[in-house]
């Protein structure tokens, strides 16, 4: 093997992990993440399983099962996609399907509040107030 080549024979580092066995367009039957209004759910949309969703776990497809099971506590679409190692748009489409079937409750954030500069300032201030590993607060300017 030449220097810089991976065990697969291609230059560069090894891939992070195995490629998914099922392509995203197969999981969603080729659908994209548009809602009925024509807008996709933002990544910060919170989803939580309903009682009906938890009762139906054994009748759901693998990905739907994993989404509902992971949503026993509310979490964002972004967190869910990262936790389940699924493409964000796959999670969006499946979350939309699960909401329509009564398996998930979806809380879409108010557009105005997510684009409010004062909210971003408070988030930044809150992050700066978290001490680092030595217990030292970050500079506030």
pLDDT bracket for residue 114 (50, 70, 90): low
For the entire predicted model, the pTM comes to 0.60
Q: Phi, psi (5° rounding) for residue 105?
A: -105, 135
Cβ contact 106:45 at 8 Å: yes
Confidence of residue 19 (pLDDT cuts 50, 70, 90): very low
Q: Which residue has the higher pLDDT, 2 or 78?
A: 78
User: According to the model, what pLDDT value does residue 55 have?
Assistant: 95
What pLDDT is attached to residue 28?
A: 58
* Predicted local distance difference test score (pLDDT) of residue 139: 59
CB 75 within 8 A of CB 46: yes
Give SS3 for 107.
strand
């Amino acid at each position: 093997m030449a220097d810089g080549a991976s065990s697969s024979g291609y230059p560069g580092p090894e891939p992070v992990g195995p490629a998914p066995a099922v392509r995203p367009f197969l999981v969603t039957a080729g659908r994209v993440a548009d809602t009925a209004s024509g807008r996709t759910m933002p990544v910060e949309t919170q989803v939580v399983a309903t009682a009906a969703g938890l009762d139906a776990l054994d009748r759901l497809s693998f990905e739907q099962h994993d989404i509902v099971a992971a949503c026993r506590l509310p979490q964002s679409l972004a967190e869910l996609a990262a936790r389940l190692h699924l493409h964000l748009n796959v999670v969006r489409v499946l979350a939309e399907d699960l909401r329509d079937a009564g398996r998930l409750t979806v809380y879409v954030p108010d557009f105005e509040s997510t684009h409010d500069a004062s909210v971003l300032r408070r988030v930044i201030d809150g992050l700066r107030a978290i001490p680092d590993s030595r217990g030292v607060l970050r500079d506030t300017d």
